[in-house]
Chain A
Amino acid sequence: MHEPSDQNWILRPDAVATVLTDRAVILDLRTKFFFSANPTGWAIIQMFETGATRADVHAASRTWGANGVDEAAINGVIDQLLQEGLPAPATTPVAGAPAVPVAAWVTPTFSKHAEPLQRIMVSAFDPGLPLAE
């Protein structure tokens, strides 16, 4: 059961994304968990930067080369994003955005890293817990 089809979702401002060579990393500053996405997963996430509905994402995915068999994977990425609370329901009208170009369609992936980053730091320079010497 999905949310209403016209529900717009927008990435929370404290979910910070950055791009590596062929992956993107999204860090949730609230929970300190981080996530990685492949290029098509990242293209989906980018749609939520300006606001999108689930239907918007499916429509864009079709233009990128997705077909019926990819729907489950696309829904899987969206469901996980929503489960992690990274996009929030948009409370004001969203700008929406043309989908970013995707070089080649591959099944989108979005993975959560098992260990969050440190929430309580040793100092403003040293995030880690010191090991016993």
Chain B
Amino acid sequence: MTPAVTEAAYSCGPVRLELVVEDASLAGALHGFLAQYDTPWPAIATTIRVAIEGGGAPLGMTEPSGNYLQLHHLRVDRHDRGLVSLGNLGVSMEFDLAHQARIGVPLDRPLPALAEEIEQQLMLLLTRGWAQAGWTPLHAGSLIPPHDNRCVLVCAPSGGGKSTFISAMLRRGWRTLGDDKALLRHEADGVVARALTRRFHLDPSSSRWFPEAGDLEAWPRYSRWTGKRVVRIEGIWPDRLMDSAIPAGVVQLERAPAGPHLAVEALDQIGVMNTLLRQVVLPADAAHARPLINCVAATAAPVRGALIRVGDNAFADPAIAVRLEDELRRLLA
């Protein structure tokens, strides 16, 4: 650890984080996580000042039970004074649900693991900040046909093939807001989706289908838990990144290792709602969950949806991308 107070500011979509970090090595370790939110944003809606200090949870802090949110590595409670969360390694956060947060870090733990737990806390801070600014965080990719401002939202769990599916369409001239993150907002004339990051997370093995991507192994690793690489997509397929689009279709993407290369079923409105709800983190607090659920419903109501199952190695056959493009256009027709 390197005791030296470091100040840094990051504009992450509509939220600006101002960090004051007691430890310079921690500040360096967090840079990659926060710098990923590099999409230009028209205006900053709110600024949150975050003090990251050694010492772990404050004395007298009641261990959270997860009554607000339970994450794999964090338990989050809501109190009168805001959110209180505690991670498995002992990284704690108090957030006043306005402009101030304090993250307490037990500095005797290994730096990589500490940084990951602090990132989890900052993710919680950002998602709440975005929601309070009127945006619904959606864990989904998107595809926008050429000469159009409407998008198909591509939903799947991590590892479900979103980045590969989207890359296959980028090669055919489609554009995107990103491969796994977007913000939605219900405005007077409908829902708008906006991009947060210009970086994709691609598995190096996908270069066998997309040779123009080159040696994906050469890009930085996304995390120590996955072989995926953080790829600046503009370097491979220029002019494919958009800042905003109108959601007009939803795809629930499934991998079908033993199935045919491609199978498509229509989703009804409840199916679309189900698909989208599974891509949104909903806290147990009704006042916080309600605007997110209403935004998902406003997104689901006017769109067409499809469940698309893609077999392993499907993209080795160029005809599959053509068929997928037809299916996507059908959703937007």
Contact = CB atoms under 8 A, between A and B. Distances in A.
Contacts of B283: 29
B17 to A, nearest CB: 14
Contacts of B126: 124-125
Contact of B127 (A120, A125, A129, A131): A125
Interface in B265-298: 269-270, 273-274, 277-286, 289-290, 293-294, 296-297
A124 B120 contact: yes
Interface of B: 69-72, 74, 120, 123-124, 126-128, 137, 139, 156-160, 180-181, 203, 226-228, 255, 269-270, 273-274, 277-286, 289-290, 293-294, 296-297, 300-302
Interface in A92-123: 113, 117-123
Contacts of B139: 125-128
A80 to B, nearest CB: 17
Contacts of A25: 270, 273, 293, 297
A125 B181 contact: yes
Contacts of A32: 282
Interface of A: 13-14, 16, 18-23, 25, 27, 29-30, 32, 34, 36, 113, 117-133
B71 A128 contact: no
B72 A122 contact: yes
Contact of A130 (B124, B159, B281, B284): B159
A22 B160 CA distance: 31
A20 B301 CA distance: 5
By DSSP majority rule, is chain A's interface helix, strand, loop, or mixed? loop
B294 A18 contact: yes
Contacts of A130: 157-159
A32 to B, nearest CB: 8
B278 A118 contact: yes
Given A21-B301, A113-B274, A125-B139, A14 B284 contact: yes
A127 B279 contact: yes
A117 B71 CA distance: 14
Given A14-B286, A18-B297, A121-B72, A126 B278 contact: no
A17 B124 CA distance: 24
Nearest to A32: B282
Contacts of A129: 157
A105 B282 CA distance: 34
B120 A20 contact: no
B71 A27 contact: no
B158 A21 contact: no
A28 to B, nearest CB: 10
B269 A23 contact: yes
A130 B92 CA distance: 25
21 contacts: A18-B293, A20-B269, A25-B273, A27-B282, A29-B286, A118-B278, A120-B71, A123-B123, A124-B74, A124-B120, A124-B123, A124-B127, A124-B281, A125-B181, A126-B281, A127-B280, A129-B157, A130-B157, A131-B157, A132-B159, A133-B227
